């Protein structure tokens, strides 16, 4: 293992010595020049315990751990009675293609929890509504790396890494009444990006599922990218699906904007062209829209690594709505509501899992993107931070974020294996 680390350190020396600039953030951004080396910049903070500390939240808000000792919590779903479902899973990953993939994979693994993925749904219940969840039990087990969750009527839908499945549900139920029924299979060969984000349309007719690419930038060839790097629209009754939007390298979280029915996503962009490229982003997802991957990024910025090129696709590429910064690894998104308080009443919360492709780590927090008149407007604000203790130590990594309409933000943390609840001190 020491040999691998030394190889990575030596290979990264030319990049480590170069100055890092400010990564693009916001609505109007310019892309810096790409740069490449033998190995990408890599700094992975090692997990540590919280002890008596807690994440930092804004004045006037409190944060509490409402569930601990979980098995890699990823995404959460608040049910109508206030119960919370937690999807726990680790995913299969993909085989390495190149020696540097082995090195990078080893180093990235040092920043993950050693806990085995639960392959289950856990249910949390706050019986008296005081913010303390007295009940924690397994709702369903034997799943295949569950990630996305959605509720439509009397059905809970779960996006496993290989299929969308359905459980019958009655309000107040604490355990599934039987095994799940498969609605539709999902692309699962190789599964370079295994997570399958999901949300339901406002009218309950459709499910939207995000399917990540099978490579960083088509290293496995375009055949491996069939039905990848896109969002599917799935009929919730029949399972019939179609491609809703394409060119989205890894759409890791999806949500519907209240009052508009508009689908939004956070997307993890490509790596290995420098610490400040390419920015992950938050965007409205247009039906039939193409967002650039693999041929270009941030609209028409061509990535020459993707061969053969497709100039017509590049010309059609949509510029995303909001740059979150390069390599922040946005894995959660939830629209806010006035119940969260004035400064955070209109906008979107984003769970940032944290970077690996930088010498100076970024992300490792929950940020808030303010909106005005239904669109992103202004600089992002840290809503929960302190997960990154220093460049070498991390105490947690936020994944999914979910708004509890009773007045709280629910945050899944897959390094501390904890569910956090952030609420105004005075409701």
Q: At residue 88, does pLDDT exceed 90?
A: yes
- What pLDDT is stored for residue 102 in this prediction? 75
Q: Which residue has the higher pLDDT, 43 or 239?
A: 239
- What digits encode the pLDDT tens for the residues 112-146? 899 999 999 999 999 999 999 999 999 999 999 99
Contact criterion met (CB below 8 Å) for 264 and 282:
yes
Work out the number of other CB atoms within 10 angstroms of the CB of residue 238: 9
Stretch 187-210: mean pLDDT, rounded? 98
Q: At residue 345, does pLDDT exceed 90?
A: yes
Contact criterion met (CB below 8 Å) for 184 and 206:
no
- What pLDDT is stored for residue 426 in this prediction? 84
- pLDDT class of 295 with cuts at 50, 70, 90: very high
Share of the chain above pLDDT 70, in %: 94
Nearest to residue 401, comparing CAs of 424, 416, 384, 376? Answer: 384
- What pLDDT is stored for residue 9 in this prediction? 34
- What pLDDT is stored for residue 4 in this prediction? 33
Average pLDDT in the chain: 92
Instruction: Please give the model's pTM, rounded to 2 decimal places.
Output: 0.94
Contact criterion met (CB below 8 Å) for 355 and 362:
yes
Q: Which residues of 165-198 are buried (b: 16+ CB within 10 A; e: fewer)?
A: bbbebeeebeebeeebeebbebbbebbbbbbbbb
Distance of CA 238 to the CA centre of its chain: 27
Nearest to residue 400, comparing CAs of 206, 196, 157? Answer: 196
CB neighbour list of residue 319: distance below 8 Å, 6 or more residues apart: 298, 299
Q: At residue 382, does pLDDT exceed 80?
A: yes
The DSSP result for 213-278, as a single string, is -SSSSSTT-GGGGTT-SEEEEEETTT--EEEEEE--S-EEEEEE-TTT--EEEEE----SS-TT-S
- pLDDT class of 36 with cuts at 50, 70, 90: confident
Q: Longest Cα pair distance anywhere in the chain, in angstroms?
A: 60
What's the full length of the chain, in residues? Answer: 427
Reply yes or no on domain 2-14+35-424 having CATH 2.40.220.10.
no
- What pLDDT is stored for residue 22 in this prediction? 52
Contact criterion met (CB below 8 Å) for 168 and 177:
yes
- What digits encode the pLDDT tens for the residues 142-196? 999 999 999 999 999 999 999 999 999 999 999 999 999 999 999 999 999 999 9
């Amino acid at each position: 293992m020491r040999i691998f680390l030394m190889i990575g350190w030596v290979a990264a020396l030319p990049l480590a010595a170069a100055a890092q600039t400010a990564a693009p953030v916001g609505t109007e951004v310019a892309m810096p020049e790409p740069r490449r080396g033998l190995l990408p910049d890599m700094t992975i903070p090692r997990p540590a315990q919280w002890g008596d500390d807690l994440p930092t939240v804004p004045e006037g808000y409190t944060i509490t751990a409402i569930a601990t000792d979980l098995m890699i919590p990823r995404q959460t779903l608040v049910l109508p009675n206030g119960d919370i479902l937690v999807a726990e899973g680790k995913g299969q990953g993909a085989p390495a293609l190149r020696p540097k993939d082995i090195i990078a994979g080893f180093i990235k693994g040092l920043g993950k929890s050693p806990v085995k993925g639960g392959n289950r749904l856990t249910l949390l219940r706050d019986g008296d509504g005081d913010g303390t969840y007295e009940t924690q039990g397994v709702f369903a087990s034997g799943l295949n790396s569950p990630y996305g969750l959605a509720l439509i009527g009397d059905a809970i839908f779960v996006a496993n890494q290989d299929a969308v499945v359905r459980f019958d549900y009655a309000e107040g139920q604490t355990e599934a009444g039987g095994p799940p029924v498969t609605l539709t299979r999902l692309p699962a060969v190789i599964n370079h990006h295994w997570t399958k984000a999901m949300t339901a349309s406002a009218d309950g007719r459709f499910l939207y599922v995000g399917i990540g690419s099978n490579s960083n930038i088509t290293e496995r060839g375009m055949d491996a990218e069939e039905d990848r790097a896109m969002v599917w629209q799935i009929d919730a009754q029949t399972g019939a699906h179609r491609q809703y939007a394409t060119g989205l390298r890894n759409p890791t979280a999806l949500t519907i904007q209240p009052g508009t029915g508009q689908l939004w996503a956070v997307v993890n962009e490509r790596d290995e062209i420098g610490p400040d490229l390419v920015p992950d982003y938050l965007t409205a997802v247009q039906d039939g829209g193409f967002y650039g991957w693999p041929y270009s990024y941030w609209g028409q910025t061509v990535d020459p690594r993707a061969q053969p090129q497709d100039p017509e696709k590049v010309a059609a590429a949509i510029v995303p709505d909001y740059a979150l910064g390069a390599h922040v690894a946005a894995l959660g998104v939830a629209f806010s509501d006035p119940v969260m308080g004035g400064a955070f009443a209109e906008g979107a919360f984003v769970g940032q899992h944290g970077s690996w492709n930088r010498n100076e780590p970024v992300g490792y927090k929950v940020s808030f993107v303010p909106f005005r008149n239904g669109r992103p407007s202004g600089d992002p604000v840290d809503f929960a931070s302190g997960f990154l203790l220093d460049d070498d130590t991390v105490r947690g990594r936020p994944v999914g974020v979910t708004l509890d309409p009773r007045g709280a933000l629910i945050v899944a943390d897959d390094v501390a294996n904890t569910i956090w609840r952030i609420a105004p001190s005075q409701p």
